[in-house]
Amino acid sequence: TIARDPLRIIILIAGAFFWLVSLLLSSLIWFIAVKASDPNDEPLQKGLLIFGVMFSVLLQEAFRFLYYKLLRKAIEGLVALSEDGCSPISIQQMAYVAGVGFGLMSGAFSMINLLADALGPGTVGIYGDSQLYFLTSAFMTMVLIFLHTFWGILFFHGCENRRWWEIAAVVVMHLAVSGSTFCNPLYVGSLVPSYMLMAIAATWAYLLSGGSAQNVRRFLLCKSCSVTGTWYLAGLVPSGLPGRSWVSAGGHRVVSVGG
């Protein structure tokens, strides 16, 4: 859905870069705070860690908003340069691609941290703790990649329609998922709530994109060769399958693809 379109690749890489800059700034602030404090004060160090995580989440969402503003300006420029007065990419497509960019970079850094821990020294579970550290970390990395994708769709939709409570909901969900990791090594306390929030965010993003239960049934039962118009706008239809006609189905716009 992204690799075949050069413009989407650029948006993906730029989104990953924005996430990377937010991590760099939050890491720098946390590093300075740790160096300026007493390393032997364990409660203080734990408090600084919690502060660092929460500050990092807020900074990521701030950079997501800055990226939205940048892409909005980019759309205006693309419209001005186009011959037909239309942008070659919609804000819905940008939201999806930007969310994937945030998620992929987040997952890449999670993987790097795990590989660094795997080098040792030490043995997982040597003091009787769970030996599922790497497995559960892989599941947490996966859920964060999906969540960033869904959060990108929800966040951009809230910005486009000035529905600030949607933006606030994204920030709260992000804080909740990050805060749940402090329950580790009780991994059930972090994985179960995170996957529940992922299901909620996925359903919410799907409905905002124009999806419906009828479309899900058609997809699962393979009853139709149609996809919703919003899937087409979101870039989830291969570029080699042109839309033939627009029809009304269940109150939603549907484009017939490939016959």
Q: What is the pLDDT of residues 67-106, one digit of tens each?
A: 999 999 888 887 776 667 677 888 888 999 999 999 999 9
Instruction: With a cut of 60, say whether residue 240 has pLDDT above it.
Output: no
Mean of all residue pLDDT scores within the chain: 83
**DSSP-assigned letters across all residues of 12-58:** HHHHHHHHHHHHHHHHHHHHHHHHTS-TT-HHHHHHHHHHHHHHHHH
pLDDT at 38: 82
Bigger pLDDT: 42 or 172?
172
Instruction: With a cut of 50, say whether residue 237 has pLDDT above it.
Output: no
pLDDT at 81: 67
CB 47 within 8 A of CB 129: no
- Inter-residue long-range contacts of 214-219, CB under 8 Å, 24+ positions, other chains counted: 214/249, 214/250, 214/252, 215/250, 215/252
Q: What is the pLDDT of residues 43-52, one digit of tens each?
A: 888 888 899 8
CB 197 within 8 A of CB 176: yes
Q: Encoding tokens for residue 111?
A: 């993987």
pLDDT at 189: 86
Mean pLDDT, residues 148-176 taken together: 94
Query: What is the share, in percent, of the chain residues with pLDDT greater than 90?
Result: 44
CB 65 within 8 A of CB 159: yes
- Other beta carbons within 10 Å of 189: 14
Mean pLDDT, residues 146-152 taken together: 96
Q: What is the pLDDT of residues 179-236, one digit of tens each?
A: 999 888 788 889 999 999 999 999 999 998 888 888 888 888 887 544 444 444 444 5
